[in-house]
Amino acid sequence: MKFIQKFRSPIILVSAICGALIASAIIHLIKGDDDLGYPTNIGPEIARAIDNFIDWLVVNGEWFFDGISDNLKVVLGKLREFLVWIPWPVMVALIFLLGWRLGSLRIGIVSALGMILIGLVNLWEPAMVTISIMTVSVSVAVIFGIPTGILMARSNLIETLLRPVLDAMQTMPSFVYLVPGIMFFGLGNVAAVLATVLYSIPPCIRLTNLGIRQVNPSVVEAGESFGSTRLQLLSKVQLPMAIPTINQTIMMALAMSTIAAMVGAGGLGIEVLRSMGQLQEGNAFIAGSAIVVMAIIIDRITQSVVISRSE
């Protein structure tokens, strides 16, 4: 009896598995393999309804999607032209100063050397295209993500409603995010921006909510006792705790902006995709290494900002 009580849960689990296997064998013997399918298939009806809804949305919302597409194309084009227009020595110097002042001298030197290496393998312009896509995507994600995170932190009801949505968005395969962009904006950089925003906004919302909720209540009470308004508490005390969200948003955006090459986005991602399609392993490795170098530079600089603000 003591043995059974001690191993009660494993015994129940093993018994349930054995029972399921025996029941499966009996059903196969009685029904046969050909009669074990589901009685109906509702997949085509669901797919047809979704297709009809999307067709209706594209037709009736053409003015809306075209307006977003046209404006994003202008912003992306101007930003890419501006980044390419800046001479590479000037850009390298700016990256060095940024890493030095926000981080340390070592971070500044490593960042500058990383950008020089990207230029030496003739990937400077694709890198600027990737930066322009990331800049626009991160800006949109932060503009919508941080206010949503603030609402979640202020309301338990909103957090309860949005948590399953964020869970679903973060468990979806990254390629799924390419589908809405293709449906509404076609192939190109605009679809890449939409996919990147959808991919990077969940951590922005989550970490903003978490950062605000983790603020010590005594700190908030001290601010209220000194006459601080809710807006002052939010901007001076609570919102600085959400600074790490920008780092995570940028890294997620970089990961997605390279995958978005599959929908016609330019940048380093298209260099990897083209090289792989042509079985040019060396060029694919070089372009992939450039993405890694850029990720390291961005991560080190943004982490330095987070550490300095937390201190």
Residue 45, pLDDT score: 84
Q: Both tokens of residue 268? A: 């380093």
Query: Looking at residue 6, what is its pLDDT?
Result: 63
51 found inside a domain: no
* pTM for this entry: 0.78
Domain membership flag for residue 169? yes
Does residue 7 form part of some domain? no
Q: Is residue 43 part of a domain?
A: no
The answer to whether position 3 is within a domain reads no
Read off the pLDDT band of 179 (50, 70, 90).
confident
- Determine contact, residues 96/221, Cβ cutoff 8 Å: no
Domain extent at residue 305:
63-310
- Quick check: is 218 in a domain? yes
Q: What is the pLDDT of residues 42-67, one digit of tens each?
A: 778 888 888 888 888 877 877 888 88
How confident is residue 310, by pLDDT bands cut at 50, 70 and 90?
low
Count of structural domains within the chain: 1
Whether 22 is in a domain gets the answer no
Cβ(88)–Cβ(122) below 8 Å:
no
Checking if the pLDDT of 79 tops 80, the result is yes
The residue among 193 and 230 whose pLDDT is bigger is 193
What's the pLDDT score for residue 134? 83
At 79, which CATH number? 1.10.3720.10
Q: In what helix (H) or strand (E) does residue 53 lie, and over which residues does it extend? A: helix 43-60
Is 149 within the bounds of a domain? yes
Type of residue numbered 309: R
Which has the minimum average pLDDT: 220-224, 260-264, 292-296?
A: 220-224
